[in-house]
Amino acid sequence: MNESDSTELPVLVFATHNANKAREVQNMLSGAYRIQTLSDIGCHEEIPETATDLKGNAFLKAQHVHREYGLDCFADDTGLEVDALAGAPGVRTARYAGENADAQANMSKLLGALADTDGEDRTARFRTVICLIRGGLVEYIEGVCEGSIVRKQSGAEGFGYDPVFSPEGETVTFAEMSAAAKNERSHRGKAIRSMVSELLAKS
């Protein structure tokens, strides 16, 4: 498809500034939609993520784009839920060790909180919730990856909590897997693929 053809496709905004994430979805939806990022539509204001759960935060981001820019869009939010911590860090996954915490601080706090926890009590899951708004209709799509928190960081790939999360059935962490292998198992990959299947079925 050449560039002039792609400009005739319906626009679907991904509420992110991450061009790589948007490109991944664009490749999956080639010929059906033209994916644009927040930067592409000139949305540079901070969108509050003040909801008490992942579904609420995804909705706030998608609703902002739809209300302020009048475009069909989708937004995602992801959380790590640790059973021994009653589902924490959950909606505060990115801010677990504080508002300006980095990934290392978050992982250190998590491993510290689980220092006296062994075996099955270290079970956890990553959950991604997508809010998709098309034609004013709101839909939610989820992707979940079950697994457990390892005792010490391992691996240098990925980002966030990847070095401490091992998906169910694996002996390595996400950070020790290739990007392709992680995407096959990951919560976000599952959610995106489910959304793409729905969009293509209705396009």
Residue of 72, 76, 77, 162 with catalytic role: 77
CA gap 145, 158 in Å, rounded? 15
Length of the chain (residues): 203
Is 77 labeled as catalytic in the residue annotation?
Answer: yes
Please, which contacts does 93-96 make with residues 24 or more away whose CB atoms are closer than 8 Å?
Answer: 93/160, 93/161, 94/160
What region does 141 belong to: left with phi over 0, alpha with psi -120 to 50, or beta?
beta
- Residue whose structure tokens are 């911590």: 85
* Residue from 150, 141, 142, 145 nearest 117 by CA: 150
Strand 11-14 to 34-37 pairing: parallel
Q: Which residues pair with 82 in a beta bridge?
A: 124
Q: How far apart are CA 91 and CA 9, in angstroms?
A: 34
Active site residues: 77
